[in-house]
Amino acid sequence: MDALSDCRVPVIAGLTASGKSALAMDMADRFGGEIINADAMQVYRGFDIGTAKPTQKEQSDVPHHLIDIRDARETYSVAHYVKDAVAAIRAVLEKDRIPIVCGGTGQYTTALLNGTRFWPLQIPASIEQEVDHMIAEYGFTGLLEHIKSLDPATAAKLSIRDEKRIRRFFQVFNATGMTRTEMNDWSNQGKPQFQYRPLCLVPEQHVLTAQIEARTRAMYSAGLVAETKGLLEQFGDPALIPFSGIGYRHTVSYLQGQISDRDMLDLTIRDTRRLAKRQRTWYRHHDHGPMAGSLNEAKSAYLSLMET
């Protein structure tokens, strides 16, 4: 640990459309901060309106990090995020400014708060070839039987149809000597690298519903259909990860003539509400600090948190 590990780092989590970004901007202005994105879709370049990405003016007023860092054809895992976020936090602290982590991807903020450890991201090509030879010799049925003897807990969650997971099990096992269960135990033994100060924004249901509907309508008014059309023309493959985002999924269906514009709007609102419900469940089971029901409540709570 070093001197920076004692620095306080605000983490603003919460439900979609709850006002996290507005709170982060207010805090950045108040404390002299820079914002570290924690939204899995905002890392993708060009996907702006449908991800509620901060505007160019907002990014000009307050420096933002981990936005527009991936092409739509690239993957971005929790392990990638934690590595990049820790580096960004450290860089901001070294400038004597306050890094403010903000976003609703619970897996990202949970891993950051818990100090979850990850094995190096890239499996060597030699290991991949080794596992390919094992598959050719024993088949997935034989390898699944082997997992049962190595790691019964993981085997109980697998079936012969889980070829990708069986392959990954042996790639990790051959590279590290650890089973999936042992790897999970090792990952969870990490410690947070900074003194995080988390807060979770969770408005009342009726308030959030109104905010979701208003934001969704604003996205379409701002040109979400045209943005999606341009991205489809650029990348040509609606199966790419960022097109699965709620703001784009039904817009793609509309552009392909599968649904009406009314259905596009209604389905986007419906799925955003469902996402918020899943997020509520996540935050109930993964501690993200005090829960605030409004922006004013959140601002007051953060002033107290930053003083402790």
Domain ranges of the chain: 3-116+190-307, 125-185
Alpha helices (H) in 63-191, listed in sequence order: 78-94, 106-114, 125-150, 152-155, 163-176, 180-187
The mean pLDDT of the chain is: 94
Quick check: 110 and 286 in contact, CB under 8 A? yes
pLDDT band at 2 (very low <50, low <70, confident <90, very high): low
Model pLDDT, residue 6: 76
As a whole number, mean pLDDT of residues 71-100 equals 96
In the predicted structure, residue 239 carries a pLDDT above the cut 70: yes
Rounded Cα distance between 268 and 17, Å, is 13
In the predicted structure, residue 218 carries a pLDDT above the cut 90: yes
Q: Residue 109: name the closest of 87, 81, 80 by CA.
A: 81
As a whole number, mean pLDDT of residues 34-55 equals 98
Across 19-28, 118-127, 258-267, least confident range:
118-127
Q: Which two tokens stand for residue 13?
A: 């989590």
CATH T-level assignment (fold) for domain 125-185: Histone, subunit A (1.10.20)
Model pLDDT, residue 244: 96
As a whole number, mean pLDDT of residues 118-126 equals 81
Residue pointed to by tokens 């924004």: 201
In the predicted structure, residue 129 carries a pLDDT above the cut 80: yes
Domain spanning 3-116+190-307: which CATH class is it, in words?
alpha beta
Model pLDDT, residue 120: 66
In the predicted structure, residue 3 carries a pLDDT above the cut 60: no
- Cβ burial 22-39 (10 Å sphere, 16+ → b, else e): bbbbbbbeeeebbbbbbb
pLDDT band at 301 (very low <50, low <70, confident <90, very high): confident
